[in-house]
Chains A and B, each alone.
Chain A
Amino acid sequence: MAAKQKSVKTTRLIHLMLTIALVIGLTSYADAAGKVYKLGLSLAITGPTSDAGNPYAKGVEDYFRFVNDTKLLGEDKIECTIRDDQYQTDVTKRNFEDFLDQGIVFYLNYSTGSTLALKKDFDEVEMPVLPASFHAGNIEGSKYIFLPIASYSEQTILLAEYIVKNSNGAKPKVAMFIHPSAFGRGPVSDLEKAVAAGLNIEIVEVVEHGNDLDNTAMLQRLTSKGVQYVLCQTIQSPVATMLKDAARLGMTAKSFGEAGKITFLGAHYTGGNDLIDLAGNAAENFFWTTSYTVTSEPGPGTDAQLELAKRYGRDNKAANSHNYANGIMVAQVATEVIRRAKEKGLEINNKTLYDELNAMNGDKAYQPPTTVGAVTYSPTDRAGVDSLQIYSVQKGQFKKVGEPLTSEYMKKIK
């Protein structure tokens, strides 16, 4: 009997020791497994502008998967929840609240409307935000919103400067073709300010497009007013419609600034491969600016982009989209600030990441492979990549025009 009791005691002791060992083992495994940093992205994967939002989401998703799979942050992982808000601000707000409940340390937003609507919330919770919208108004009166690249205003003014430089001293007549929203209207007043500051162009007309399927009357009107250049700040589909109409009417300039014809130019969301798909041959000689590298001009950045897309089974359309690069880039910036804060031994939270973003300048500027210039932020600089590359469509592909530029007049009107 006594021997049996002793055996039971021994068994219990072994069980206890095993349990302790298991707990210690699990604890050490948890340490070895590293920390998880939560991020959130709310964007339009369906609904309006989803043609841009869809590849953008894939870029963000793939890059964070790459970070985790290749252990770019060591054992630590990034968990980015991506939600479709269907371009509805109310849903974006709900998603953002949900992300806050989950304990995010960094937030990626999408549309101009929702970024403007949630601006106060971002400030209240002190959350650093990278939106996909480059609207200059996003950063007015906000400490926590950082534009990934130069604003739409800067892009438009740079294109206008390019027009002036290639006009041999004459005062070119320019029309603007814009989206009927804050997104489209944003650069108009800034371009007018640049003109007032001495930019030698004449803004003949600002056209807010609707859902027109034919732009013949508008193009005829612009021609009758002597317009030589049309600056577009909208999305691809209305630009494609206009380009096709202009080509049909024989109005498109065969070379930049061809006399008696119209040269079309546009900011980030007007261009890319989708425009070529939509407009076909009519897209030839369309001039476009963005801060991203494009796969039709191969380089280390685009190679990495295509490699990433291949790794995660993306189709050619997504892999070659500049909005896929756009998504990769914001994920790269978020990863970089986490890496830097981690390197300094700081706790990863919204405040430290905000500080790291503000310190991203000078010799600490960040050069992602997907952009044509370095990302710089400071308490007074809220636009990431200041350099812009002009591309033009040549034989069905976007090709570089010169070297990356920065706007002179944007500095003057700031």
Chain B
Amino acid sequence: MAANRWLATGNFFTTYQEEQRTFITSLDRLIFSLFLIVLFIWPIFFSVSRTYMLVVDNILVAVIAVLGLNLVTGFAGLISIGHAAFMGVGAYTIASFSRILGDSHIIITHFWPLLIFIAGVAGAITGAIVGLPSLRLKHLYLAIATLSFQMIFEWAIKFLTFFNQGQTISVGRVVWFTGEVGRNDHYIFWYYVALVIIVLFGFVVSNLFKTRYGRALVAVRDNDRAADAMGMHPGFTKVYAFALSGFLAGVAGAVHAFLYKGAGIESFTLHHSITYLAMAIVGGLGTLNGSFWGPAAIEILNLQVEKFSEYAGNYLPSAMNLATALRPFTFGLVIVLFLMFEPRGIANWWRIAKSYTKTWPFRY
């Protein structure tokens, strides 16, 4: 390690522990801390409309979900196209409490952090069960198994009267130290909750890869037979990857249920599973920061394309439905072009930017 802890120009590690540090230099730590502070204080200084706050909240919920998806698909190499269903398990765990106790029962309004944790556990258990076929299946075959779970989940929710046959089950407003979180503070409040969860799990996932359990995920992804020969347990690793992923999805689903004050099947369909997968790919599969970039990019792109097609609608002939077609066409085109020219995702841009600044002020 360079003597100067503030400006390490290049990789000069002398011990394994040094290489494993979360922050290579003090400058990294300072920048990250400042960034974190900005994330926490910007809503105090800037007034954002409820619409945009909801968009930001949606991004954060998607970040939690994609963090989980990246664990199982990006790091462990197990394709999951049932991730929205895992989120649904979390959301419907909250909805079940609401259904049984009433949507404004004290357990829902006051003990919501506990409920979010329980929803995560429910997601983890479901993930572990759904992950069992991964002991025998790989690649596309495993993808089909997770797709089956998505189908079974949707069918079960739509047909069971306990789950209101897919109609929204209402979840009441929660209580914080300042009293009930009202309509005006609702989106800000859930912004902070989601942010705290992301910071917490961001560090957990980051540190996971410094442990043998995290490294086992990558080893199994790269070659499960070699990992087995090295003394790892590929089966256990795969199942626990699904469980971890399910936990994060369950937490995301629970936050979604509280954010939208209800759970309905329309938010946890195959379409959503594909969207989360797209977020993970666009962000950068197998990278931690890709889990943040992907959801932000897709949500913002979606919003901008929506605005663009709305604007274009003023000029295009109304009889031809061109403005209507413009939205899915533009969205699809941007994604395809992006994947063609940057298949490693936005995280790769971040890597390039970082490696360039690492040697600054020297070019080499």
Binds A, one of B228-236, B260-268, B288-296, B347-355: B260-268
- Whether A101 contacts B264 by the Cβ 8 Å rule is no
Q: How far is the CA of A310 from the CA of B310 in the complex (A)?
A: 23
- Whether B167 contacts A182 by the Cβ 8 Å rule is yes
Binds B, one of A9-17, A87-95, A348-356: A87-95
- Whether B170 contacts A97 by the Cβ 8 Å rule is no
- Whether A101 contacts B51 by the Cβ 8 Å rule is yes
CB distance from A198 to the nearest CB of B (A): 26
CB distance from A406 to the nearest CB of B (A): 28
> Quick check: is B132 within 8 A (CB to CB) of the other chain?
no
- Whether B166 contacts A182 by the Cβ 8 Å rule is yes
- Whether B260 contacts A117 by the Cβ 8 Å rule is yes
> Quick check: is B43 within 8 A (CB to CB) of the other chain?
no
- Whether B54 contacts A97 by the Cβ 8 Å rule is yes
- Whether B58 contacts A90 by the Cβ 8 Å rule is yes
Q: Which residues of A contact B261 (CB under 8 A)?
A: 120-121
> Quick check: is A402 within 8 A (CB to CB) of the other chain?
no
Q: Which residues of B contact A87 (CB under 8 A)?
A: 266
Q: A117-B262, A313-B319 are in contact. Are A185 and B165 (CB under 8 A)?
A: yes
Residue from A45, A58, A312, A314 whose CB has the most chain B CB atoms within 10 Å: A45
> Quick check: is B324 within 8 A (CB to CB) of the other chain?
yes
> Quick check: is B175 within 8 A (CB to CB) of the other chain?
no
- Whether A46 contacts B266 by the Cβ 8 Å rule is no
Q: How far is the CA of A72 from the CA of B262 in the complex (A)?
A: 41
Residue from B55, B166, B262, B266 whose CB has the most chain A CB atoms within 10 Å: B266
The size class of the interface chain B forms with chain A is 20 to 34
Q: A83-B310, A313-B318 are in contact. Are A116 and B167 (CB under 8 A)?
A: yes
- Whether A46 contacts B51 by the Cβ 8 Å rule is no
Q: When the two chains form the complex, which single residue of A83, A88, A121, A124 contacts B266, counting CB atoms closer than 8 Å?
A: A88
Question: Which A304-344 residues have a C-beta within 8 angstroms of B?
Answer: 312-315, 318
Dominant SS at the B interface?
Answer: helix
> Quick check: is A167 within 8 A (CB to CB) of the other chain?
no
Chain B, residue nearest A92 (CB): B266
CB distance from A58 to the nearest CB of B (A): 7
> Quick check: is A180 within 8 A (CB to CB) of the other chain?
yes
> Quick check: is A98 within 8 A (CB to CB) of the other chain?
yes
Chain A, residue nearest B309 (CB): A84
- Whether B324 contacts A89 by the Cβ 8 Å rule is no
Dominant SS at the A interface?
Answer: helix
The size class of the interface chain A forms with chain B is 35 or more
- Whether B50 contacts A101 by the Cβ 8 Å rule is yes
- Whether A182 contacts B170 by the Cβ 8 Å rule is no
Q: When the two chains form the complex, which single residue of B168, B183, B321 contacts A89, counting CB atoms closer than 8 Å?
A: B168
Q: Which residues of A contact B317 (CB under 8 A)?
A: 313
- Whether B318 contacts A84 by the Cβ 8 Å rule is no
- Whether B260 contacts A314 by the Cβ 8 Å rule is no
Please, what's the 1-or-0 string for B149-167, where 1 marks a CB less than 8 Å from any CB in chain A? 0000000001100000111
Chain B, residue nearest A312 (CB): B318
Q: Which residues of B contact A89 (CB under 8 A)?
A: 168, 260, 264, 266-267
Please, what's the 1-or-0 string for B164-182, where 1 marks a CB less than 8 Å from any CB in chain A? 0111101000000000000
Q: Which residues of A contact B328 (CB under 8 A)?
A: 46
Q: A93-B54, A101-B49, A182-B166 are in contact. Are A117 and B318 (CB under 8 A)?
A: no
CB distance from A53 to the nearest CB of B (A): 10
> Quick check: is A113 within 8 A (CB to CB) of the other chain?
yes
Residue from A58, A87, A94, A185 whose CB has the most chain B CB atoms within 10 Å: A94
CB distance from A395 to the nearest CB of B (A): 28
Chain B, residue nearest A111 (CB): B266
- Whether A124 contacts B51 by the Cβ 8 Å rule is no
Please, what's the 1-or-0 string for A107-125, where 1 marks a CB less than 8 Å from any CB in chain B? 0000001101100110011
- Whether B166 contacts A100 by the Cβ 8 Å rule is no
- Whether A97 contacts B324 by the Cβ 8 Å rule is no
Chain B, residue nearest A318 (CB): B319
A to B CB contacts below 8 Å, 11 in the list: A58-B318, A88-B266, A90-B267, A93-B260, A97-B49, A97-B51, A97-B54, A116-B167, A120-B170, A120-B262, A137-B167
Of all A-B residue pairs in the complex, the 9 with the closest CB atoms, nearest first, are: A117-B168, A98-B51, A182-B167, A101-B49, A97-B51, A89-B266, A97-B50, A313-B319, A45-B324
Q: Which A residues lie at the B interface, using CB under 8 A?
A: 45-46, 54, 58, 61, 83-84, 87-90, 93-94, 97-98, 100-101, 113-114, 116-117, 120-121, 124-125, 137, 180-182, 185, 312-315, 318
What 12 new A-B contacts, CB under 8 Å, besides A84-B306, A97-B54? Answer: A46-B325, A54-B321, A61-B318, A90-B58, A113-B266, A116-B264, A117-B168, A117-B262, A182-B165, A313-B317, A314-B318, A314-B319
Q: Which B residues lie at the A interface, using CB under 8 A?
A: 49-51, 54-55, 58, 158-159, 165-168, 170, 183, 260-262, 264, 266-267, 271, 306, 309-310, 317-319, 321, 324-325, 327-328
